[in-house]
Structure 1
Amino acid sequence: MTITTCVFDAYGTLFDVAAAARVAAAEPGREDFAKHWPRIAADWRAKQLEYTWLRAVAGHHRDFWDVTQDGLDWALEAAGLATPELRERLLQLYWELGAYPEVPAMLAALKQAGLSTAILSNGSPAMLQGAVSSAGIGDVLDDVLSVEDVGVFKPHPSVYDLVGGRFGCAKEEVLFVSSNGWDAGAAAGYGFRTAWVNRAGLPVDRLWGTPDTILSDLTTIPMVAK
């Protein structure tokens, strides 16, 4: 079946989640943080995701901004750098994440080819709108879908249901793109065609679905969608 709709995960897929820590580390007076920022950024992201899974399984949903703050608090405490000023700066920068360099042209090419484009993310609507505006890609997206509409995080099937509900398309008409191997695998198991943007060169997750395509970045997505 022909692809009609390309749907993207947001954080780590379109938006560089390490950018907040990387920018803060380059600022004057942050020498201690600069020594540890890669580990803090990795821990922040790992805990952010871990907390979404645990909350989804336990039925204790909170929006992604709360979970993002909780993950950062854990990462800063683990590094012994839990100061209010640094915390506030990192959270501020998280609202200003830039897109990966290939994103604007890639999305424009999809729109030029006549495909619908959207984000499907764990992020809260306000967070996602801030990221889309900061990256300047709102004009090449047809919609931004948030798990807040169903009150549970990915990979719950009700999240993936949002795509068909919005665009009226069959599962087989959707190309779902994520940098998270577990997300791409779960979406494949749901019935989407999937592309995993494996920027880190990781092994494939052993799940109930396997990505159809594995890429190192988003540049060739318009060709995958043909």
Structure 2
Amino acid sequence: MTEQKSAPIIVFDVNETLLDITTLEPLFERLFGDPLVLREWFAQLILYSQTMTLCGRYSPFGELGVGTLRMLASIHGTTVEASDIDELKARMSTMPAHPDVIPALSALRDAGLRLVTLTNSPSAASPSPLERAGLGEFFERSFSVEAVRKFKPAPETYHLVARAMNVEMADLVLVACHLWDTAGAQAAGGFGALVTRPHNAILPVAELPTPNLIAAELTDLADQIIHRWGHLAHAPRPASS
């Protein structure tokens, strides 16, 4: 990549990176007798979202989440009622922010960096899950993959943000707690910044892009971003061709 002339735009993943999905655990403990089935559900949800994209098909992320829950119920020999689906939807729309999120976003904003989000979840009417979590004020724009009908890490999802913000991919830093997401952004020409929340780690495979920045806490990752690019935050941004 060429040397940066202006600060990049920081693009945040939402689910698990900003919002705490462990608040869904009581539903999975009640249905399956084990709160950690949440992790199986989430992993399968990501797997089948990517499968849909590779197959050239698209269903909204929420619908896939419901279908994945029903699939796991069949596998585990339990029953999912309509009230359980309602609870899943309610919990997903009211997930709180992780404790390190507001301090990290405040530091980035105070440094003059521009912040947006990119999520697999569909657009939501106000108040959105981000607004309910007290995070809406930090972001200039929020993007959903529904606009391109492909799920991350398809390159079109990251290009969507670059086009809308009128910048090159090299002007984007994707912040996520999922290596498949940062790797997708890097493969598309951007930077990757990984926060290694519990249940997420580096995959040591030679051909998989290593994130440009890595930290265990979002506040530490924000400090790294500010150290690397903060001095460029007030530099004029070259016009995109």
TM-score, normalised with respect to structure 2: 0.82
Tell me what 1:202 maps to: 201
1:174-213 deviation line (CA, Å, top 9, x unaligned): 2211111111112112221111112235332635422112
1:150-188 deviation line (CA, Å, top 9, x unaligned): 111111111111221122223222221111111111211
Tell me what 1:214 maps to: 214
- Say if 1:111 and 1:15 are closer, same or farther in 2 by CA, change over 3 A: same
Partners of 1:155 and 1:137 lie apart in 2 by 24
Q: Within 5 Å, which residues of 2 pair with 1:17-166? A: 17-22=21-26, 24=27, 32-33=30-31, 35-39=33-37, 41-84=38-81, 85-126=83-124, 130-166=128-164
Q: CA RMSD in A?
A: 2.2
1:92-145 deviation line (CA, Å, top 9, x unaligned): 211111111111121122111111101111110028963112211111111110
The share of aligned pairs that are identical, in percent, is 24
Contact 1:185 1:209 in 2 (8 A): yes
1:5-52 deviation line (CA, Å, top 9, x unaligned): 111111111111221224x47xxxx7x54731212x012101110111
- Say if 1:61 and 1:88 are closer, same or farther in 2 by CA, change over 3 A: same
Partners of 2:65 and 2:217 lie apart in 1 by 24
Contact 1:152 1:159 in 2 (8 A): yes
Letter in 1 for 2:7: I
- What count of residue pairs does the alignment treat as equivalent? 219
Contact 1:65 1:127 in 2 (8 A): no
Partners of 2:23 and 2:75 lie apart in 1 by 20
Secondary structure of the residue aligned to 1:6 is strand
Deviates more, 1:49-58 or 1:90-99: 90-99
Moved segments of 4+, more than 6 Å:
none
Partners of 2:126 and 2:217 lie apart in 1 by 21
Partners of 2:46 and 2:24 lie apart in 1 by 17
Contact 1:171 1:191 in 2 (8 A): yes
